[in-house]
Amino acid sequence: MTTPAEHDTPADRAAKIKEVTCRVLEIDESELGADTLFQEDLDADSMKLIELLASLEIEYDVEIDEDALDRMVNLAGVYAVINEAIDAREG
């Protein structure tokens, strides 16, 4: 199955990941920087992080191991996890 997100440029992918993250965490994009910590800075609970993982799996048609949640503490971590999952799928 081909999704539009599969053909994103790196900048498009970063913007889409930020958009999805903000939607799931129910925050404005201005509140989220690459190093903003989801739990400590934004009070996101573990259920929100699982919801984020599931939303990104759907958006990018990838499977992400729940162990990756330990790395998904901020936007930079989410970028890394998603990029690795896409690379693994395409590799």
Give the active site residues.
Answer: 45
Helix (H/G/I), strand (E/B), else coil: 56: helix
Residue 42's closest CA among 58, 29, 56? Answer: 29
Task: Find the angle CA(2)-CA(54)-CA(86) to the nearest 5 degrees.
Answer: 45
**Beta carbons of 80 and 71 less than 8 angstroms apart:** yes
Name residue, tokens 């259920």.
47
